[in-house]
Chains A and B, each alone.
Chain A
């Protein structure tokens, strides 16, 4: 059993601030842990979880420099606001947690600079957090899923993960682009709005689709490939003659049905492989209700259940960074300033998960 209270402050609970800025969202969250193991009676308390999203105009993706500028502009204001909402001061914080990667370079850097500044100004230790592990830990905390197979689906990541021997091991992943990226890029072709999120708008259009346009279906074991599907659906969208055959709604519907069927299939394969019947969906695409519906039918057929969260925790946020960072802090992990360099490439399975058995 891991001792989570070796570094318990005198007041008997922990407080952590989390800063997330690996992509186009800047999130600030403050979390409180009481001493002891997590249980249904002893849950983490979300004192504050605020987010600000940078949206590119329709037909365009967000550029790193614009996102970084957005983060720089907002971060001080948001940290102050977060402290106010949570009704805490810097003195109360045990650690400042920040996303160390993976993500886009410039936005990550903008965020880590803010974290270092706060740490030095107020003498609070830093904890660097892997973004993907942040999603997983927040998902576990919120849903209470004990040891699930994790489907992590977002704009930059598509991974099937299961815990074993102190690591979140990647059983399957995309061989090319991420599922969210595939949806985003398709949205750009159709000039679908990026507000609140391209994937959300595709989801709404897909509800009105009826006709299935056959698309490639590329599952390789527990891995999938999506570029072929994207090329094909883009072709259909651009092809004027086909426009009469498939509406925009039909294409959104077909794209979702194909991509999600692939995701559910590889999740099911991973569940069969590790003999688990719990599945936890995290990441921005995880807030898609059609994906959740398909996944829960699959899990039910296997006698299991799914755990999903809503947009507050699925979409990038500061609280998940605070959660994973605080767990690390409680077993004695902190990050020195000299080691606080962020990385665009930081694999989920690079993290030594000291806080779990």
Chain B
């Protein structure tokens, strides 16, 4: 789908528009645009509905943050796209093109078969590794994991944070749990309780993550809070 076909009303920077760009995905806040064989551009357009001051601040902060986090993860052996260059003020990140499909689509296409389960296991392990680096993803879903050559690549660090504490990590896991439940309702309990969480715990233990038990206790509390918070009309 070309950007024109997609009816994109957003401003696309000149240097990208001239390369016959193809829209790979329109997420909530960013467009991922495929510009040539091995490069994509992640572009955060301005949101007209948001107060301009807030908009500018959020776009710049998130773009810079995303680059910092991706680079740190890459240095520490977590599978992430390679960043070539970036321009936070314009909301632009240039990075490697991941030629694969999302874990969401894979699960929808194949169901929770052994091959797919293996991907969820790797997902759990990658999260443990990331948390051990005090990084939280902030939007763990099955659409934010790409599968390429039977390996997973974590993408979309737009809401990530560094120096994450126990609460952040617990919420990170809770968000994932809920995302799996809402996206893959029929297999959710199995995927979460039998694959992702055990893999996460195993990897965290291997890494001697001293916060593991605290995170798990807190996850229980976050779950309670979400589930049983008093709801008023």
Top 3 A-B residue pairs of the complex, sorted by shortest distance between their CB atoms: A156-B232, A102-B231, A23-B233
Which residues of A are found within 8 Å of B227, using beta-carbon distances? 347
CB-based contact A212/B51 at 8 Å? yes
A217 in contact with B49 (CB, 8 Å): no
Of all chain B residues, the one with the shortest Cβ separation from A99 is: B233
Q: How far is the CB of A42 from chain B (nearest CB, A)?
A: 29
Taking CB atoms, residues of chain A closer than 8 Å to B230 are: 102, 156, 344-345
Cβ-defined contact, B182 with A162, below 8 A: yes
Nearest A residue to B10, CB-CB: A301
Chain B contacts for A326, CB-based, 8 A? none
Cβ contact within 8 Å between A157 and B231: yes
CB nearest to B50 among chain A residues = A261
B-side interface size class: 35 or more
Interface CB pairs A-B, < 8 A, 21: A101-B231, A131-B233, A157-B231, A164-B182, A165-B185, A165-B186, A169-B182, A171-B178, A172-B178, A178-B231, A217-B54, A220-B138, A221-B139, A221-B140, A268-B28, A269-B27, A273-B143, A301-B9, A301-B49, A316-B233, A345-B231
Using a CB–CB distance below 8 Å, which chain A residues touch chain B?
A: 20, 22-23, 25, 99, 101-104, 131-132, 154-157, 162, 164-165, 167, 169-173, 175-176, 178, 181, 212, 214, 217, 219-223, 257-258, 261, 264-266, 268-269, 271-273, 293-295, 297-298, 301-303, 316, 344-347
A124 to B50: give the CA distance in the assembly, Å.
50
B49 contacts A294, C-beta separation under 8 Å: yes
Q: Encode contact with A along B152-192: 1 for CB under 8 Å, 0 otherwise.
A: 00000001000000000001100100110111011000000
B86 within 8 A of A: no
CB distance from B57 to the nearest CB of A (A): 8
Residues on B close to A: CB < 8 A?
7, 9-10, 26-29, 47-51, 53-54, 57-58, 138-141, 143, 159, 171-172, 175, 178-179, 181-183, 185-186, 222, 225-233
Q: Please name all residues of chain B whose beta carbon is closer than 8 Å to the beta carbon of A169 when the two chains form the complex.
A: 181-182, 185
Question: When the two chains form their complex, are residues B231 and A261 in contact, meaning their CB atoms are under 8 A apart?
Answer: no
| Beta-carbon contact of B54 and A261 below 8 Å | yes
CB distance from A266 to the nearest CB of B (A): 8
- A169 to B181 alpha-carbon distance, docked (Å): 9
A297 vs B50: C-alpha distance when bound (angstroms)? 9
In the complex, which of the residues A102, A212, A269 contacts B53, with contact meaning CB atoms closer than 8 Å?
A212
Q: Let me know if A272 and B26 touch, CB within 8 A.
A: yes
CA distance A316 to B28 in the complex (A): 30
Complexed CA–CA distance, A223 and B233 (Å): 19
Contacts A221-B179, A269-B27 hold; do A155 and B232 have CB atoms under 8 A apart?
A: yes
Contacts of A178 in B (CB 8 A): 231-232
Instruction: For the complex, give the distance between the alpha carbons of A265 and B28 in Å.
Output: 7
Chain B residues with CB under 8 A of A269: 27-29, 139
A277 to chain B, nearest CB (A): 11
- Our pick among B57, B171, B183 for the contact of A220 (Cβ within 8 Å) is B171
Determine whether the beta carbon of B178 is less than 8 Å from that of A170: yes
Residue of B nearest to A268 (CB): B28
User: What residues of A have a CB within 8 angstroms of the CB of B222 in the complex?
Assistant: 175
Q: A173-B226, A212-B51, A265-B28 are in contact. Are A273 and B141 (CB under 8 A)?
A: yes
Cα of A345 to Cα of B34 in the assembled complex, Å? 47
A104 to B175, CA, bound (A): 27
On whether A103 and B178 interact (CB within 8 A), knowing A221-B141, A269-B27, A297-B48, the answer reads: no
User: In the docked arrangement, what's the CA distance between A222 and B225, Å?
Assistant: 16
Q: Say which residue of A155, A171, A173 sits within 8 Å of B233 (CB atoms).
A: A155
One of B159, B186, B233 near A219 (C-beta < 8 A): B159
The answer to whether A157 touches B232 (Cβ under 8 A) is: yes
Task: Evaluate contact between B233 and A221: CB separation under 8 angstroms.
Answer: no
Min CB distance B181 to A, Å, is 8
Q: Known contacts A156-B230, A169-B182, A344-B230: does B51 contact A221 (CB below 8 Å)?
A: no
